[in-house]
Structure 1
Amino acid sequence: MGVRNLLPEDAEQLNLGFTFGGNGGSWLQQFSFTTDLFHNRVKNKIVAYPTGNLHQWAMINVGRVIINGADVSLSSETSLTEKMMLHAGVSYSWQSALDRTDPRQVNYGHQLPYTPRHSGSARAALEVSQLQFAYTLIWSGARYSNGYNDTAYRMGGYADHGISLQRTFPTRFGSFSIAGEALNLSNRNYEIVRNYPMPGRSYRITLSIHY
């Protein structure tokens, strides 16, 4: 939803990153470790928040925000046999995004709404010839639905697990693949946005054609 008096952001950003990777030998085809540390000072930070309609979000400015955080990721490709590969990866993020606009306000020094301090993901895929079986995990720590971090606005963390099985068929004109997925295996109706629970366990079949 547009806001006429919305101001542009003005940010000072400091980032320090490190990446290490390589080849571990005949069985460890590839590995990579990446970490990023960041410190941001933002004036008029633009924050989106849900209105009465989930498909319509409004934008507001938060006068002054101090953000500190770290992102860490690790990935690898391992050759288990001549025809079997294991792809794996994990990531973790920590973010402190605090409202430092007005010390007289009750939300001064509080975390921005819908911004978890801790979040992460993981994925593992076993590939045998043209067949791939994968497991995915997305998780988030607690968040608040309001800029005032009272317990009444606290939203618990969640974890979403999924598995998939995909088969690729090469042809003279390219290839096509068919995949079956089971989503939200734990069948939890967790909320990303307050009062809008996500659907429980579901299944999906996808057909893709590549020329």
Structure 2
Amino acid sequence: MVFKAIFFDAAGTLIKTTRPVGESYARVAQRFGMEVLPGQLTERFRRCFASSPPLAFPGAQPDRIQEWERQWWKDLVRRIFEPYGRFDGFEDYFSELFEYFSRADSWSLYPEIKETLAALRERDLILAVISNFDSRLFGILEGLGIAPCFDSIVISSHAGRAKPAREIFHRALETHRLKAEEAMHIGDSPDKDAAGASAAGLTGVLLDRSGRSASDNVPRLQNLKAIFSLLDRAG
């Protein structure tokens, strides 16, 4: 199969936070009188994020989506801090934290990203992002200089469904009038990206930078540069 399109996850695949999440949460919280160890907040974030509802709002009016996005994150952050007692400055804390993660300088690209995307563009492939993210992603990718590399950016909060739901993958396919078998999706989540894309009929590829994933039933890359050997083998 000759692929016509490559879809990418965003966080953990193309971009990462410049500091560990727990460190950023703790640094900002300290200014509002809340002292919590960064490691504790990292673990709380991991657990609370995993148990949160999807970042998607089926049927939401377009002009209210950003309001719902902000509330989704506020609910998550409030849950993260629940074990640590009263947080009088929470509203102001959350506003600063939400704005902090909207800035491109709070994120960075993985080292191989720009070179890989440029080389893929030279192959005349359709490139797109499919991410369980909110509206801030557009500005982040623009600020990091890679937004022009993509023909479309599909985020769960706008699509009304989040990965691994097949509908969000089909949204990207429909945008470019593609058949599922003509597209590959790459991401760092075995369930949301690799398995989700495969269930939707695409070729799901796991980006396993650590080399520690136990998933063996999908193609696996440790670095995005390895995508070229995968494409060449596919024809």
TM-score (norm 2): 0.21
Q: Which has the larger radius of gyration?
A: 1
As a proportion of its length, which structure holds more helix? Answer: 2
Relative to its length, the structure with more strand (as a share) is: 1
Higher relative contact order (CA 8 A, sep 6+): 2
TM-score of the superposition, structure 1-length normalised?
0.22
